[in-house]
Structure 1
Amino acid sequence: MRIFFAGPLTNLTHPDKTKAFYRKLEEVAKKYGCDYFWAFRHGTDPVANPRVTPRDVYERDIAELEKSDVMVAYVGEPSTGTGLEIEHAHHKGIPVYLLYEQGKKVSRMLRGCPAVKKELVFTDEPDALSQFDTLLQFQSFNT
């Protein structure tokens, strides 16, 4: 199974903490032998790769999304790019699983997207990782 991980990279409130969380999600995916793409690890991170043009970011991320079986999107911070990727997943028939902290206000428009199969609402990082682990262990992802 190939996962397209989505989540904000621009204007993060706590970039180091958020990217550390992303790396932990990645480790859970590796545990189950999943292939994956995550922009911050694969060449389109705005901090690590500032010279990549906006068009190249769009084309690379969309191409990687279209090669994926499922999207897992962290939506605890607003991101126009993540929203765009979720809508593209919807149009390509790629199921989407949302991750966000309990108490965060996430757009109803986003949550109502027909591609969204499940919302993993977590209390803290260990809870998020546990829920994601359970999802990978027991879900067929409807692909």
Structure 2
Amino acid sequence: MSSQPRERASGKYAPTPHSAPEVRLGPTRDQPTEKEIAETLANITEAYGDIERIRKAGSDAFFVIDSLLPLAAIGALVRLGEQANNLGRQFVARHPGPEYDRAIETRHYLAHKFEVNNHILWQTIAVSTKRSAMAHQDVHDKVMGRMTADG
């Protein structure tokens, strides 16, 4: 164990829109079935919808009015990362646009850290996930279209 104190609210231990947490993780599953991928993509879309509702509440609500919004954001990001992990290594590698690997890393960080910088959390919600959500929707539509055509 390190005898150095942890830095508080510095962002050193927090994910940012432009840097990954200390530990680089990737999906732990090998290859789910097409049906599992379709269900997982739907779950990811739902998590992004929850994040969008938090974003639409605005920063005033996030920081001042509703103290439960940061907790809801953490929950949504953890669910998003868990579902991204369920996509499997090959799928995540073939679809880098939505940054599923970043969602997995963020989930790991949020699930195992006790202190989260709410300003960095808001930036993640307001900026990074919005871009990733659009890329995810493209992947979702292509995969679902391919599955419909095949089947």
Q: Please identify which structure carries the higher helix content.
A: 2
Q: Please identify which structure carries the higher strand content.
A: 1
TM value normalised by structure 2: 0.30
Decide which structure has the larger Cα Rg and report it: 2
Of the two structures, which has the highest relative contact order with CA contacts closer than 8 Å and spacing of 6 or more? 2
TM value normalised by structure 1: 0.31
